[in-house]
Amino acid sequence: EKGIVIFDSEGKAKGQDFSQWRDVYYTLKGQYGARSSDTDTKDPDSINVLHVAAPIYKDGKIFGVVTVRKPTEGIKKYIENAKHKYSFLAWGIPIFILSLGLLYSILLSKPFEKLTHYAREVRLGSRKPIPKFYQAEASELSQALESMRESLEGKKYIEKTLSHLTHELKSPLTSLMGAAELLENPPSEEARLKLLNNIQSESQRLKSIVERLLGLAALEAQRELDKQEEISLKNWLKPILESLKTKITQKSLRLENQIEEGLCIKGDPFLLETSLRNLLENAIDFSPPQSVLRVLGFQQDKKIIFKIQDQGPGIPDYAQTRVYEKFYSLPRPDTGKKSSGLGLSLVKEIIELHDSQIHLENLKEGGLEVTLIFHAV
């Protein structure tokens, strides 16, 4: 209790008076005692040692002091380790937060990039379905965009179609009314048969316009295929060509079927048959008698290429940009008559619905080449 050392683990300080050292002095007074001292005050390179004391009690009174000491060199290692640790955290946490923000920004911007791309595709007339998103905000925005597109397209479609339809129906209706007026006064048998034939022809044209228009409207409202099957191109084409054999024979056309074996595509068989039949009928109608009608099919990389080539007049320059317009039709070379003008519009809708392409090109040697590009199975 007088501050005299009675035990030293190193045996160096036994019997010395440590009563004035801060660790002993304050601990004997019942306070916290600690100090930091060099092992040799005269040597600047001596080791610094930390001392921490604790009281020893006897009968409730402070009887003595026990002091433990530790060189600061060992503690410095802990301090350095702590510095490295917290230095890493000081840099790591901001970097982590910035990375997280960047990732969130990318995830947030991706949907808008897709929507921007989709909007451009729609402006160019693409039939691609609207992209789907997991983010609620992006999904809600995409649905709003799709609803707006459908609303605008619907209004524009009705206005444009009614305008064209009125014009197209006027001609056959005028013809029918004229025939009806002529029949009021009994004509000759020959004239009567001619008028009846005209009535039948114009009625058939009206029916064709209505049926094709309904089919086209249903396709335009369809954003994706309801069903798809794997179709062998050669097997699929065979019955279609067989059904058109009479028309081919009537014009003495020579059919060249150059479809390679093993070509398969995926799609709706009924819709694809409708499109192919339309294209073949057009090719037959515009082919001069005793000419060649050629169908080709081959694979190029991951695409199936299907071509129809005729030796007809091709597409005039003035009609190049209008061939897919509803109700636009060119007169047939042999009869001078026009079709409903809905065939190629229907074909284009079907092909685009299959995420495929159609191209029309005049051949240098004369005639027209229709190219369909499908995805290979």
pLDDT in tens, 164-188: 555 556 666 676 777 777 777 767 7
How distant is the alpha carbon of residue 214 from its chain centre? 29
Report which of 170, 241, 183 is spatially closest to residue 209, judged by C-alpha positions: 170
What is the CATH number assigned to the segment(s) 1-120?
Answer: 3.30.450.20
Boundaries of CATH 1.10.287.130 in the chain? 127-224
Boundaries of CATH 3.30.450.20 in the chain? 1-120
Name the pLDDT band for 196 (thresholds 50, 70, 90).
Answer: confident
pLDDT of residue 251: 92
First to last CA, the chain: 98
pLDDT of residue 43: 64
pLDDT of residue 217: 64
Q: How far apart are CA 98 and CA 85, in angstroms?
A: 20
If you search the block for the tokens 């000491």, which residue do you land on? 69
Helix (H) / strand (E) containing 162: helix 136-184
Q: How far apart are CA 372 and CA 357, in angstroms?
A: 6
Q: Which phi and psi angles does 205 have, rounded to 5°? A: -65, -40
Q: How far apart are CA 226 and CA 301, in angstroms?
A: 27
> Which DSSP string do the residues of 284-321 spell out, in sequence order?
HHHSPTT-EEEEEEEEETTEEEEEEE--S----GGGTT
Q: Which phi and psi angles does 155 have, rounded to 5°? A: -65, -45
Q: Taking the CA atoms of 276, 277, 278 and 283 in sequence, report the sign of the dihedral they define.
A: positive
Name the pLDDT band for 362 (thresholds 50, 70, 90).
Answer: very high
Beta strands 303-309; 292-300: pairing state: antiparallel
Q: How far apart are CA 10 and CA 282, in angstroms?
A: 113
Q: Which phi and psi angles does 51 have, rounded to 5°? A: -120, 130
**20 beta partners:** none
Cα diameter, the chain: 155
Q: How many CA atoms lie within 13 A of 318 on its CB side?
A: 3
pLDDT-wise least confident of 26-30, 48-52, 155-159, 281-285: 155-159
Report the CATH architecture of 127-224: Orthogonal Bundle (1.10)
Give residue 287's region: left, alpha or beta (phi > 0; psi -120 to 50).
Answer: beta
Q: What is the mean pLDDT of residues 252-267?
A: 93
pLDDT of residue 209: 63
pLDDT of residue 308: 96
Q: What's the one-letter identity of residue 115?
A: L
Q: Taking the CA atoms of 322, 324, 327 and 331 in sequence, report the sign of the dihedral they define.
A: positive
Report which of 39, 30, 32 is spatially closest to residue 53, judged by C-alpha positions: 32
DSSP secondary structure code for residue 4 in this structure: B
pLDDT of residue 129: 63
Question: Does 370 have pLDDT greater than 90?
Answer: yes
For residue range 85-140, list pLDDT tens digits in order: 777 777 778 888 888 878 777 766 676 677 777 667 666 656 566 666 666 666 66
**CA angle (364, 368, 370) in 5-degree steps:** 120
Q: What homologous superfamily does CATH list for 229-375?
A: Histidine kinase-like ATPase, C-terminal domain (3.30.565.10)
Q: Which residue has the higher pLDDT, 1 or 164?
A: 1
* Helical packing angle, 343-353 and 269-286, nearest 10°: 140
Q: What is the mean pLDDT of residues 197-219?
A: 68
Boundaries of CATH 3.30.565.10 in the chain? 229-375
Q: How many CA atoms lie within 13 A of 196 on its CB side?
A: 8
